[in-house]
Structure 1
Amino acid sequence: MSSASSVPPPPRLLWSRNFILSAVTNLFLAMVFYLLVTAMALYAVNEFQATDMLSGLAVSAFVLGAVVSRLVTGQAMEIIGRKRVLVTSLVLFLVASALYLVADGLGLLIAVRLVHGLAFGAANTVLATAVQGMIPPARRSEGTGWFGTSTTVGTALGPLLAFQLTDRFGFDSLFYLCTAFSVCGLVAGLVVRLPRAQHHQQVAGPPRFTVRGVISRRALPVSLVMLMGGLAYSGVLAFLNGYAQEQGISSTIASAYFMVYAVVLVLSRFVVGTLQDRHGDNAVVFPLLACFVAGMAVLALWPANGGFLVAAALCALGFGALLTSLQSVAATVVPPFQIGVATSTYFLMLDIGTGVGPVLLGALLPVTGFSGMFLMLSGFLLLTMLVYWFAHGRRSAVGPTAPSVPQ
């Protein structure tokens, strides 16, 4: 329907039943992702004697699948409906989680990883899009931040559980837990009610897939900022353990990095989103980028227990809080009917950055060393501040971006 009366009024409550269910569904997706990404390279080497390159492919195939699915999910939601895309992708996510238990070859393992990534990218995009319609417009940044906390919890608990399970019970226990989490995610996804997407009222007939609709041109500039941020933080995800070993830092401190990261990021949710809603995007994005710059510099110049933990706190603000702050920006620079494609574009750029980053940084590592790489990334993030200014900051300085009416 295209009449104005068919558009539901904006939500008044942030912590609604459907908002909580959406966050819970996303939590189970994130837990499975981080449980597996931590252990997959080692599993490929131990179980199938994979080379370094092929073990890396076993990890990155998931990201590749997510990138491919995000290209089409934005329009698929309009064509066949959000709930159908969500349920289909969650069922596929469950099937892929169970298939690790029977994948008896490296090629089959990589294929499962690819399918798993396809399902993850689709489900995550649907949830991240639909939740924008559950958040009161005046609390857009705050609500986006709290929804992103579900991923934050997975970031912290996933690697810790993966280490404990594989050390004590072997890799099969990890796959059983992932299957159980996938069942929980499917159950939550089945009962959540997603707001309907708005369609452009001037377009006659049902929505159709178009190549131009794959990428949101309005959301692309700010999404490129997140691509750069994702590339920088991929250096931490891929090389922090190796850096810690080189510097003689215990694995306990390396694991504590992610716990400190998660705690600081959760605490930041009480402040950052509200500040952005009240004072505009630049009031938080520039300080968060400055924290990111400082966090990488601390990693490079203070390779000690204290340095790792301080860097974790700074990177939690610099990358974790920035991720949801810029997602909120991407949702406000487009009309309501384009939020799905804008969200897909945003996470597509993030996936590309985190997927390509380890390859590029790994090639530079023999030249720069770990400390030099992190110092280089600190300088790279200074450039990111400039890119943000031209992508969005100079317009935000003129006046706050009006929140789009939720879908």
Structure 2
Amino acid sequence: MPANSQPSPALWTKDFTLATIANFFVSFVFYLLIPTMALYAVNAFGASDTAAGLASSSFVIGAVVGRIFTGKYLDFVGRRRLVIISLGIYVALGLAYVLADGLPLFVALRTVHGFGFGTSATVIAASVMSMIPPARRAEGTGYFGISGTIATAIGPLLALTIADRFSYDALFITASVVALLALLVALTITFPEREVSQAERESKWSLSLGTLVDAHTVPVASIMLLAGFAYSGVLSFLANYAQQADLVSSASLFFLVYAIAVFISRLFIGRIQDRRGDNIVIYPIFASFVAGFVMLGVSSQAWHILLAAVLMGFGFGALMPALQSVITAKSPLPRVGLATATFFLMLDIGTGIGPIVLGLAIPHLGYQGMYFLLAGIIVVASALYAAVHGRFARTA
């Protein structure tokens, strides 16, 4: 080793590894339930399409509320204490679904369950940002995100299998068992607690927008709002599009191929970003994202869908950790928790409103037209990135 070189700071510490495992279990519960709850609401309560959509999206509403308040009160409550409380809610609410005897109660339970998800996920993500050495921030963020990617790949498949072969009650019990695993792992993590300043204590009960959302993070986080909005067109309508185009078999493989592409991308993109700067990876990520939507728009064969999955994996799947690394690097330590909450809040908002807006647009545009429109939205997102960060970003 040359005399002036230094070994890379350790990344895979005990706490980073355990937090990554806990994040997998937290994400796994989300992906177990989100693909099936609209259908469950129809089957169990005779819900209309609109009410079924509410039964599904109410979880996201709860998650948004959880993220908003977690960003502000994370260090007042204490990270360890808050993650234990929120994961306790996460465990209990999965079981409570079994007792729901009407749609209003079910929607209420979904909302509280989402609150537990949003709170616990934000605490874990914010804490991990403090565990990663600054010199390996993008790399570590990418590795941490792989845990959610694996959940994306296997959660929906397992959910549909359990609901079909067993029952929805079995699915709810499975979700609570997985949430319990997240809680047990979290109990073994040493969370990086931070002492709040006197100024923070004085504004503890101030609930102005500036204390709930990190204004400095909003410009970059707005990119994730657009990206989440666009990707919701895949999450919510790919199955419908594939059925219409007689490509159902390939669509069923989409998320598996997508997850593999994301996994591969996170093995090297973070390292390049740490060493060469943000722009060298983020602009190609946007290009891949746009190409994925264009490929969906022209799909007429199975391989088109699968190529789109690869492009999306190197697009949306790689964009999240890349931009999260950007906002963490731009945030002073006392604001990292609020910045992380703001980042995911914007993502949740985009993902939540996307299906509603796009559902209104599809009758006029068709599925192919919608995907071309979403490609244009990602072009706008890339221009926004250039304006708010790209032109200021460091280069190697």
TM (normalized to structure 2)? Answer: 0.95
Q: Secondary structure at the match of 1:396?
A: coil
Distance 2:205 2:77 in 1: 11
1:246 correspondence with 2:244: yes
User: What's 2:257 paired with?
Assistant: 260
Amino acid at match of 1:288: I
Aligned residues of 1:61 and 1:117 also touching (Cα < 8 A): yes
Amino acid aligned to 2:237: F
Q: Alpha-carbon deviation of 1:18?
A: 0.7
Distance 1:203 1:307 in 2: 55
Question: In the alignment, what sits opposite 2:167?
Answer: 170
C-alpha displacement of 1:197: 2.5
Contact 2:250 2:303 in 1 (8 A): no
Give the alignment partner of residue 354 of structure 2, picking from 352, 357, 360. 357
How large is the RMSD of aligned CA atoms in angstroms?
A: 1.4
Q: In the alignment, is residue 139 of structure 1 matched against residue 136 of structure 2?
A: yes
Kindly, what percent of the aligned residue pairs are identical? 43
2:57 maps to which of 41, 55, 60: 60
Task: Note the C-alpha offset of 1:206.
Answer: 6.8
Structure 2 match to 1:377: 374
* Alpha-carbon distance in 1 for matches of 2:261, 2:194: 34
Question: Is the Cα–Cα contact under 8 Å of residues 198 and 336 in structure 1 kept in the other structure?
Answer: no
Distance 2:323 2:194 in 1: 21
**Is residue 76–residue 196 contact of structure 2 (8 Å, CA) maintained in 1?**
no
What is aligned with 1:404? none
Aligned to 1:187: 184
Which secondary structure does the structure 1 equivalent of 2:314 belong to? Answer: helix
* Distance of 1:331 and 1:67 partners within structure 2: 20
Partner of 2:121: 124
Matched, 1:79 2:114: no
**In 2: Cα distance, 1:198 partner to 1:317 partner:** 38
Distance between the aligned counterparts of 1:230 and 1:317, measured in 2?
15
Q: Is the 8 A contact 1:76 1:85 kept in 2?
A: no
Aligned with residue 20 of structure 2, among 11, 20, 23: 23
Aligned match of 1:208: 204
State the 1:207 CA deviation. 6.7
Aligned counterparts of 1:55 and 1:303: Cα–Cα separation in 2: 30
Q: Quote how far apart the aligned CAs of 1:270 are.
A: 1.3
Is the CA contact 1:288–1:319 (under 8 Å) kept in the aligned structure 2? yes
**Structure 1 residues 204 and 78: CA distance shift in structure 2, 3 A:** closer
Distance 2:134 2:196 in 1: 19
Matched residue, 1:14: 11
Counterpart Cα distance in 1 of 2:201 and 2:369: 56
Give yes or no for the alignment of 1:102 onto 2:99: yes
Q: Is the 8 A contact 2:286 2:382 kept in 1?
A: yes
> Contact 2:86/2:117 (CA < 8 Å) preserved in 1?
yes
- The amino acid across from 1:159 in the alignment is P
1: CA distance between counterparts of 2:300 and 2:323? 30
Please name the residue that 1:112 is paired with: 109
* Structure 2 stretches lacking a partner, 5+ long: 1-7
TM-score (norm. length: structure 1): 0.93
Matches of 1:268 and 1:380 in 2, distance apart?
A: 23
Match of 1:308 in 2: 305
The answer for unaligned runs of 5 or more in structure 1 is 1-10, 401-407
Task: Give the alignment partner of residue 341 of structure 1, picking from 328, 338, 344.
Answer: 338
**Which of residues 285, 290, 294 in structure 2 aligns to 1:288?**
285
Structure 1 window deviating more from structure 2 (170-179 vs 226-235): it is 170-179
Contact 1:299 1:307 in 2 (8 A): yes
Query: Following the alignment from structure 2 to structure 1, what is the Cα–Cα distance between the partners of residues 299 and 290?
Result: 14
Between the aligned partners of 2:18 and 2:205, the Cα distance in structure 1 is 29
Q: Is the 8 A contact 1:223 1:350 kept in 2?
A: yes
Residue 204 of structure 1: CA displacement?
A: 7.7
CA contact (8 A) 1:26 1:150 kept: yes
Distance 2:224 2:280 in 1: 17
Q: Assess if the C-alpha contact under 8 Å between 2:87 and 2:120 holds in 1.
A: yes
Aligned residues: 387
- Find 2:363's aligned residue among 366, 378, 382: 366
CA distance in 1, matches of 2:331, 2:177: 37
Gap change, CA 1:142 and 1:79, over 3 Å in 2: same
Cα distance change, pair 282–199 in 1 and its aligned pair in 2 (3 A): farther
Quick one: which of 154, 157, 169 aligns to 1:157? 154
Equivalent position SS for 2:85: helix
Q: 2:291·2:375 contact (CA, 8 Å) conserved in 1?
A: yes
Cα displacement string for residues 171-220 of structure 1 (whole angstroms, at most 9, x for unaligned residues):
112111111101111101111111122645x7385772432221111111
Deviation of the 1:100 alpha carbon: 1.1
For the residues of structure 2 that align with 1:369 and 1:15, how far apart are their CA atoms? 46
Quick one: distance in 2 between partners of 1:266 and 1:307? Answer: 20
- Give the match's secondary structure for 2:240: helix
Note the C-alpha offset of 1:144.
Answer: 0.5
Q: Is the 8 A contact 2:138 2:273 kept in 1?
A: yes
